[in-house]
Structure 1
């Protein structure tokens, strides 16, 4: 094989756009939310947990029978939920745990936590803004879920009326319709970011939900669009989509 043929083959085999392993494009949580609103969910304005519709101004049209006694004002609009809570990976950063010399308020008071990690550490900002981990949720549901991990709860009572989202003892059980997407988000975050590791029990649950609740065509479409916008792929979702012939 001559040099010209080798050069041509190499040129053809190398893609014009090479995906990175992690999010290396969007380092702003606010920017990520705007991109999701305008470029990913513009034709699919449905929340993760309650399948509630929302409009271009983020106003929620709650499903029939939805109810909440808490965070009533936040129930009127959607918010962008970190499925894997920011604290779960944020506490691996020194700035989150102990602060930094740059994390001083205008009044001279030192601070730490999410605000400090966001201010100082670009790696944290990339993880926080990863759109594969962000889903629309009714504000009140997002508020009450907080940073609680998911599990199966003994109680059969929903905290939101017809939306079968349960929260108890700092744990949350999502509706069946959300479990597949949640599981593959957790698996993606662990697979993509070495900083984040699930507990053994959490990984077992996510693997079980991944098997029990197969990928949907919309989930595959969402993943493809985000990959183009963000510059890295969700290999967990992509492999399920290939197996289900959605790609």
Structure 2
């Protein structure tokens, strides 16, 4: 039975609660949800301006992927045909780098961290650390360190990324070196990660030589609108100097108690079109329901009474 008063109230409630949760750093709940948000709200109009490592154009496909136009940047497939023609979401700071600094990784690797560690899930889903890249370039970059590689040839046609498999090192194109540095500073500062002296010196040099351009500033604004906080190293509000002491802001917010308390204050979100509801914790698509279809419920039982069913991907 349709109740216009209830629908109007629910719409108003969701606007208030969503505004409130943005102040609580309403980051995506999972990497899967983050990829959808990255496509829909950050990179949606950037597919004709170039992929991260190679500068290739692509056409969006599926919920968060894309099909690469290899000719747009002169990309030559090195070995992996299937991954070379698709867009993947690259962790600029590799998931293995921050995962290996967590106990969960020692006890079962990435799958275990995704299952038991709230902070790992926040780091994996942090939009500041994501960028669309050609799948093969993403795979070849692996979790290698960044370096200057003057004697290393290009391995992917005209794609300006140098990868030394022997040295396990990568030199990206100049256009993204500064952005990479500031993302590294942000992730290490926010999540209290260890940064080697060698990487620190190189990234500090890149940060100075390649200041933020218009797109990096816009990217930060878009991500801030979703997550509720920006990258202070992009905005010039914070500087990374030798001997930097991490603020560890994300570690405090990512504790199990903090995650649980914030989730408890967030509404159950229903999709009026699919008649499916999503819980604020454990449901990857919670943050990706379009605004026009969102219905807020005070509790799960209310959603069920209204004829909604739980999303099938909820854990």
Correspondence 1:29 to 2:31:
yes
| 135-144 vs 156-165, which moves further | 156-165
* 8 Å Cα contact 2:57-2:73 kept in structure 1: no
Correspondence 1:198 to 2:200:
no
Query: TM-score scaled by structure 2?
Result: 0.64
* 8 Å Cα contact 2:154-2:161 kept in structure 1: yes
- How many Å separate the matches in 1 of 2:97 and 2:208? 24
* 8 Å Cα contact 1:26-1:130 kept in structure 2: yes
Aligned to 1:48: 52
| 1:59 aligned counterpart, secondary structure | strand
Unmatched runs of 5 consecutive residues or more in structure 2: 1-18, 238-315
| 2:122 aligned counterpart, secondary structure | helix
- Offset from partner CA, 1:96-123 (integer Å, 9 cap, x none): 01x2xxxxxxxxxxxx101100111111
Correspondence 1:80 to 2:77:
no
1:216 alignment partner, one of 210, 213, 235: 213
- Offset from partner CA, 1:152-199 (integer Å, 9 cap, x none): 1142411111011111121111111121111111111112111x1210
The number of residues matched between the two structures is 211
- Offset from partner CA, 1:108-145 (integer Å, 9 cap, x none): xxxx1011001111111000110100000000000111
* 8 Å Cα contact 2:87-2:134 kept in structure 1: yes
Correspondence 1:127 to 2:123:
yes
* 8 Å Cα contact 1:66-1:162 kept in structure 2: yes
Correspondence 1:67 to 2:52:
no
Name the one with the larger strand percent. 2
Which structure has more RCO (C-alpha within 8 Å, separation ≥ 6)? 1
Aligned to 2:153: 157
- How many Å separate the matches in 2 of 1:228 and 1:75? 32
2:175 alignment partner, one of 168, 177, 198: 177
- How many Å separate the matches in 1 of 2:178 and 2:159? 17
Unmatched runs of 5 consecutive residues or more in structure 1: 1-14, 100-111, 241-247
| 1:155 aligned counterpart, secondary structure | coil
Query: TM-score scaled by structure 1?
Result: 0.80
| 2:55 aligned counterpart, secondary structure | coil
Poorly superposed stretches of 4+, deviation over 6 Å: 15-18
- Offset from partner CA, 1:41-92 (integer Å, 9 cap, x none): 1111231111111112111112342112211111111000001011111011
Cα gap change, 1:48/1:64 in structure 2, threshold over 3 Å: closer, same or farther?
Answer: closer
* 8 Å Cα contact 2:26-2:226 kept in structure 1: no
